[in-house]
């Protein structure tokens, strides 16, 4: 049963505030066109790419205008709704997208966007029209209902959420700058050393490096090994207290706990072995972007056979080596993309070149990079907090819409 709306609010058909724009254009082969991505789960619209007209087989397309309500005919059931931002002006979409012009004298774009992101339209997909049909029709969209407060309230809601968006955007810019700075700093420190420390440089397999440095193979400066997996069919091997690392848990992090744990019996009856705290792990293979990632052990643990265990001796700073390996993530992935080789192996990584400064400079480099890395989690936590705050604020501001379409 619907709850009463706040004073001055009305529940209206979407058709009262939007009008469909069904017209098409003909794509020209010699022109370049922007395309968009309509994110699912009501997460808005972003530019996807640009494409030459001659690459498009379907020559009849629709043109997006900034401020349009865009609805995916098929993906509406998964939250394929959004308001087109300014950068999407002039982008093209196929006939599987519906475009609606919003009457901004009646409905503020920021307010409508808030309704969409709260899922008000998404929840009505199954309530209007045939639920057995895989797609929706434009007439269905026009029959959806939204709560419509006075324009002054709409703008107040939109302005408040816009402030949160600005804060989120600023945080993201700082985060991106921090990541870019860390990458640039890592390259400088790991190839040229502490600024002002070196005046003479020499050629090496890594390019110009300080004359005092050496370049050695990873297998010559660190111990390399891998782990194993106890038999899955023996329950006495599993559910113990020994941490057991899989490649999916390696993500440029410090591993303090694992999803699965094994028993001492499982350890004794497999190729797995206990690896000490501080050891470096590298994912030799794994899905997606996993291959080539590294992590550090925060506690002693065992690993499976897909993890390379890299142990630095006393004269090599483990944190320096970790940052060097992390900075070369893409180079390690390139090793495993050579011809038919799809995975990394101990043989492949054994020959990887490593620059060796003095132990003291290694520690200085590691300390500098560690300080930079430590800023990133705090910024990521801030982003998560801002997102959660915006969601709660949106719920509170739209409280007048409780019940019915809300």
Is-contact 106 118, C-beta < 8 A?
no
User: Which architecture does CATH list for 10-148?
Assistant: Alpha-Beta Complex (3.90)
Give percent of the chain with pLDDT exceeding 70.
94
- CB 290: neighbour CB atoms within 10 A? 18
User: Which architecture does CATH list for 151-197+359-406?
Assistant: Orthogonal Bundle (1.10)
Give the CATH class of 214-356.
alpha beta
CA distance 388 to 26: 43
Residue 8: which pLDDT band, with cuts at 50, 70 and 90?
confident
* pLDDT score of 128: 52
* pLDDT score of 406: 42
Q: What is the pLDDT of residues 79-133, one digit of tens each?
A: 999 999 999 999 999 999 999 999 999 999 999 999 999 999 999 997 654 445 5
Average pLDDT, the chain: 91
Contacts of the segment 132-141: beta carbons below 8 A, 24+ positions apart = 134/74, 135/73, 135/74, 135/76, 135/96, 136/71, 136/73, 136/76, 136/77, 137/73, 138/20, 138/22, 138/71, 138/98, 138/100, 141/14, 141/71, 141/76, 141/98, 141/100
DSSP state of 366: H
* pLDDT score of 402: 44
Decide if pLDDT at 9 tops 70.
Answer: yes
DSSP letters for 108-142: -HHHHHHHHHTTTTGGGTTTSS-TTSSS--HHHHH
* pLDDT score of 134: 64
Q: What is the pLDDT of residues 238-265, one digit of tens each?
A: 999 999 999 999 999 999 999 999 999 9
Residue (of 224, 222, 295, 290) closest to 254 by Cα position: 295
Residue (of 359, 283, 285) closest to 325 by Cα position: 283
* pLDDT score of 133: 55
- Greatest CA separation for the chain: 79
Type and span of the H or E element at 86: none
DSSP letters for 346-365: HHHHHT-EEEE--HHHHHHH
Same fold, 151-197+359-406 and 214-356: no
* pLDDT score of 174: 84
Residue 405: which pLDDT band, with cuts at 50, 70 and 90?
very low
Q: What is the pLDDT of residues 181-233, one digit of tens each?
A: 888 889 999 999 999 999 999 999 999 999 999 999 999 999 999 999 999 99
* pLDDT score of 1: 36
Residue (of 315, 318, 323) closest to 368 by Cα position: 323
Is-contact 102 68, C-beta < 8 A?
yes
Domain boundaries, the chain: 10-148, 151-197+359-406, 214-356
Decide if pLDDT at 375 tops 90.
Answer: no
Residue 342: which pLDDT band, with cuts at 50, 70 and 90?
confident
The distance of Cα 155 from the centroid of its chain, to the nearest Å, equals: 31
């Amino acid at each position: 049963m619907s709850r009463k709306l706040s004073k001055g609010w009305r529940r209206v058909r979407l058709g009262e505030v939007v009008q469909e724009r069904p017209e098409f254009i003909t794509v020209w082969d010699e022109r370049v066109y922007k395309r968009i991505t309509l994110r699912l789960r009501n997460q808005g619209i972003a530019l996807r790419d640009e494409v030459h007209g001659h690459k498009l087989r379907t020559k009849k397309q629709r043109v997006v205008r900034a401020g349009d309500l865009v609805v995916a005919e098929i993906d509406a059931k998964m939250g394929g709704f959004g308001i087109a931002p300014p950068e999407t002006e002039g982008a093209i979409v196929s006939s599987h997208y519906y475009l609606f012009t919003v009457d901004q004298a009646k409905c503020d774009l920021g307010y409508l966007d808030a309704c969409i992101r709260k899922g008000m339209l998404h929840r009505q997909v199954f309530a209007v029209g045939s639920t057995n049909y895989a797609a929706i029709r434009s007439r269905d969209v026009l029959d959806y209902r939204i709560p419509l407060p006075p324009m002054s309230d709409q703008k107040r809601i939109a302005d408040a959420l816009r402030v949160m968006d600005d804060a989120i955007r600023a945080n993201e810019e700082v985060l991106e700058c921090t990541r870019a700075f860390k990458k640039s700093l890592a390259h400088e420190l790991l190839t040229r050393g502490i600024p002002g420390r070196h005046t003479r440089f020499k050629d090496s397999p890594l390019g110009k490096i300080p004359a005092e440095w050496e370049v050695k193979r990873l297998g010559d400066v660190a111990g390399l090994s891998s782990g194993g997996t106890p038999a899955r069919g023996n329950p006495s091997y599993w559910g113990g207290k020994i941490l057991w690392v899989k490649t999916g848990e390696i993500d440029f992090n410090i591993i303090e706990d694992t999803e699965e744990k094994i028993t001492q019996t499982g350890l004794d009856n497999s190729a797995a072995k206990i690896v000490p705290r501080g050891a470096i792990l590298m994912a030799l293979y794994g899905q997606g972007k996993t291959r080539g990632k590294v992590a550090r052990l925060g506690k002693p643990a065992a690993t499976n056979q897909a993890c390379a265990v890299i142990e630095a001796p006393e004269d090599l700073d483990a944190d320096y080596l970790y940052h060097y390996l992390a900075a070369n993530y893409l180079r390690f992935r390139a090793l495993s993309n050579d011809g038919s080789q799809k995975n990394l192996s101990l043989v492949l990584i054994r020959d990887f070149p490593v620059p060796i400064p003095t132990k003291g400079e290694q520690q200085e480099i590691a300390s500098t990079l560690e300080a930079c890395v430590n800023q990133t989690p705090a910024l990521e936590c801030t982003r998560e907090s801002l997102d959660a705050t915006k969601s709660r604020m949106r719920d509170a501001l739209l409280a007048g819409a409780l019940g019915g379409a809300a």
